[in-house]
Amino acid sequence: MALVAGTAPSAQTAPRGRRPIWCLAAGIVAGLVVLPVLALGSEAIGGSLGLWSHLAGTILPAALADTLLLLLGVGLIAGFLGVTLAWLVTAHDFPGRGILEWALLLPLAVPTYIVAYAYLDILHPIGAFQGAVRWILGYSSPREFRLPDIRSLAGCVLLLSLVLYPYVYLTTRAMFLSQSANLLDAARTLGTPRRRLFRRVALPLARPAIAVGVSLTLMEALNDIGASEFLGVRTLTVSIYTTWVTKNDLAGATQIALLLLAIVVALVSFERWARRRQGYVSGSRGRTMQPERHDGLKGIGLCALGVLPVVFGFVVPAVYLAAEAWKRWRFAGLSDRLVGEAVDTLLYAGGATLLTLVLGVVAAFALRLSPGWTGPLIYRLATTGYAMPGTVVAIGVLLVVAPFDRLVDGAARDWFGVSTGLLLIGSGTALIYAYVVRFLAITAGSADAGLARVPKSLDDAARTLGRSAGGTLCAVHLPLTRASLAAGALLVFVDCIKELPATLLLRPLNMETFATHLYGEAARGTYEEASLAALAIVLIGILPVIVLSRVGRNPSS
């Protein structure tokens, strides 16, 4: 050992020389994420009390009530659907179960604003669907009979639940698959009937996973702006956008954003408090639960029950978009405008994905090198952006980059007599910055999961051979974690394409993405004009569903 230590850096001492550099780099990454939050808080708290009282008397009561009711409804319905469907495909075997296991994730491919966009046209009072219903019932006019208007809080809750339940389904099903059959057999031995195993054993053990899934669902519901606005629900997120863009009141939007951020913090804190005494029980050392086989009418009925959310959450919107896109293609072909939007969408999403991947690797590798309190603290700060809605991130980023733009423009005027304009905002750099803040947690989590599977002995061997920390990362860790990194990059890329709130607020004036084009056409009521862009988003959104369908698969099935 002395000979090895004398010829090369030892495994114990070599990392320490490089830890400060990597911790400093990760600290800078965390600072970039936290800085918009600090700027938002400073701006909102520094606002006048009169503005707060004006907001409290006009905008906040209705917006806060709609937001809380929306969260309550989505949490209950999406939670019920996710848990029920997870138990259905885990504890029961029936014809079509293998397909249904991954098909239940398909609604994730359709952003909430596209589902609202599709159903608004499908269920229009003078549309084909309601026309067929009136024909069947013997009515001839919408004045005589029409279905309840989907433009309501109840309609928004239902549509968001149909799209967001897979978050609960994915985490809960993975938990059910990991539960040991020995626990269920013990419950059966103690007299628990099989039909009660779910309520008495499986469900209590799955509470941590359910809490995580419902929290993710509520975060996505808070981030929604398109569906809520299309359906006439004035949430806090919609209020931020209208206060900023429509009323040109950035100070008011900042203070509403601070309230929305407080709700996010409360949700995260409640989720952690709710599972503070709960733990995951793994079945890796025992038999996993074997599903009960059902054939005949009962099996067909169970399959039909599981198919319904897929039909209404994915198939109906996707078929509608495909039909409208085909009509538009036959009528006008592929417009040059759509090609330009595709280029802008892919360029901005690709640039943000590459930068997010690099910064995520830095944060995860610093955590590996510093397992004490420093690394985890920096890592947690660097991954806080995913919990923030896009509108909050956008305002925070604007408050950070706008002073820099003004400073550069002023210096250029004084020194060179020219104006640089909005350098970061006008070039789209601010938008990429917002994407990084929002989705850094995904690539950092993927990198951390990949690094966790690399034995520390490989680090020691590389250091013994004279490799630095960076050399070890490039030569050892990156090749071994490329699958996890690729999956994380794919998720970020698709999320950037689907992201609407931050893109709406920070995009350059001459730039349109698929999402903003769809939002504009839907706001004008010209749904058919945006069908091609909407269909493209859905097709791209299927890619991460393919990746997620592999998560939590039962090896024995």
> Which domains are assigned to the chain?
8-46+334-524 (1.10.3720.10), 49-281+294-325 (1.10.3720.10)
Residues contacting residue 411 through CB under 8 Å, at least 6 positions apart? none
> Given pLDDT bands bounded at 50, 70 and 90, which one contains residue 100?
very high
pLDDT of residue 9: 38
Amino acid 444 reads: A
Tokens linked to 231: 């359906």
Three-state DSSP class for residue 180: strand
Higher pLDDT: 80 or 388? It is 80
pLDDT of residue 59: 79
pLDDT digits (tens, 9 = 90+) for 173-182: 888 877 655 5
Query: Contact at 8 Å (CB) between 338 and 130?
Result: no
Taking the C-alpha atoms of residue 29 and residue 396, their distance in angstroms, rounded to an integer, is: 16
Residue 230, classified by CB atoms within 10 Å of its CB into exposed (0-12), middle (13-18) or buried (19+), is buried
> Given pLDDT bands bounded at 50, 70 and 90, which one contains residue 3?
very low
CA proximity to 100, closest of 312, 317, 310, 290 = 310
pLDDT of residue 115: 92
Query: Contact at 8 Å (CB) between 158 and 233?
Result: no
Amino acid 83 reads: V
pLDDT of residue 400: 92
Lowest mean pLDDT among 48-62, 188-202, 216-230: 188-202
Tell me: pLDDT of 58 over 80: no
Please give the torsion angle defined by the CA atoms of residues 347, 350, 352 and 355, in that order, rounded to the nearest 10 degrees.
-130
pLDDT of residue 19: 62
pLDDT digits (tens, 9 = 90+) for 324-368: 888 888 877 777 788 888 999 999 999 999 999 999 999 998 888
Q: Mutual orientation of helices 250-274 and 49-58 as an angle, nearest 10°?
A: 70
Tell me: pLDDT of 376 over 90: no
Q: What is the residue-averaged pLDDT of the chain?
A: 82
Query: Contact at 8 Å (CB) between 33 and 384?
Result: yes
Taking the C-alpha atoms of residue 494 and residue 504, their distance in angstroms, rounded to an integer, is: 17
Residues contacting residue 277 through CB under 8 Å, at least 6 positions apart? none
pLDDT of residue 55: 73
The secondary structure element, H or E, covering residue 50 is helix 49-58
Tell me: pLDDT of 227 over 50: yes
Tell me: pLDDT of 140 over 60: yes
Q: What are phi and psi of 148, to 5 degrees?
A: -55, 140
Lowest mean pLDDT among 212-221, 347-356, 419-428: 419-428
CA proximity to 439, closest of 377, 397, 374, 393 = 393
| pTM metric for this prediction | 0.84
pLDDT of residue 186: 64
Tell me: pLDDT of 91 over 90: no
Lowest mean pLDDT among 282-291, 341-350, 494-503: 282-291
Tokens linked to 71: 């969260």
